[in-house]
Amino acid sequence: MHATTVKTELFRKANEQIDEHTFYVDVEFIAFPIPYVRTVYFIEDPVYQYRLGLPGQSMSIQKMQKNLKNHLRVLMRLNQYCKKAETIAPTANLEYIRELTATILTSQMKIYISFPLKSGMKKEAMKLDAYFYHKNREVYDRVKNPAVLFLRKTKYAAFPLAVLAFKRRRDSY
């Protein structure tokens, strides 16, 4: 979002309300106008530089753990929007929305992995992954993160290993 500018007209066409009082809605800001985008410009020079994962930011792992439900809410809203986009978006635009949703799904899985082992997050991760497998296979199949793919391959038996590996990186994302 910090490097994205969208014409107001495209938000009006989308006719979607961005969630209020919720972290991570910048993804909604990016996704909702995508079905109506016909032109994209890339500017080489950075307009804004966001320092990812500093303590106190909503993207630090501690804040993401605290705001787990907000992140999940945005993910599920994007999932719903994928279904709507199927009827209104050109194929390339729909693919972009699906890729974006898969990225947020991956982030949600990383949040689950970041918790201590006995926190019950393995069950939550498995439940969410199964939901996407059955309800939005297009997004499920776009997840490329090696840790998530390994968890799937082992039917989540490797979840303790993923938690242990993440423990070394707990202060960063």
- pLDDT higher at 58 or 66: 66
What tens digit of pLDDT does each residue of 99-148 get? 999 999 999 999 999 999 999 999 999 999 999 999 999 999 999 999 99
What lies within 8 Å, CB to CB, of 66 at 6+ separation is: none
In contact, 29 and 18? CB cutoff 8 Å: yes
CA distance 1 to 4: 5
CA distance 133 to 140: 6
pLDDT band for 56, please (50, 70, 90 cuts): low
What's the pTM value of the predicted model, to 2 decimals?
A: 0.88
CA distance 141 to 137: 6
In contact, 67 and 23? CB cutoff 8 Å: yes
pLDDT band for 55, please (50, 70, 90 cuts): low
In contact, 114 and 65? CB cutoff 8 Å: yes
Q: What is the mean pLDDT of residues 38-61?
A: 71
CB atoms within 10 A of CB 29: 14
Q: Where are the alpha helices (DSSP H) in 89-142?
A: 91-114, 121-135, 137-140
- The C-alpha angle with vertex 65 and arms to 120 and 152, in degrees rounded to 5, equals 55
**Predicted local distance difference test score (pLDDT) of residue 173:** 46
What lies within 8 Å, CB to CB, of 22 at 6+ separation is: 70, 73, 74
pLDDT at 83 over 90: yes
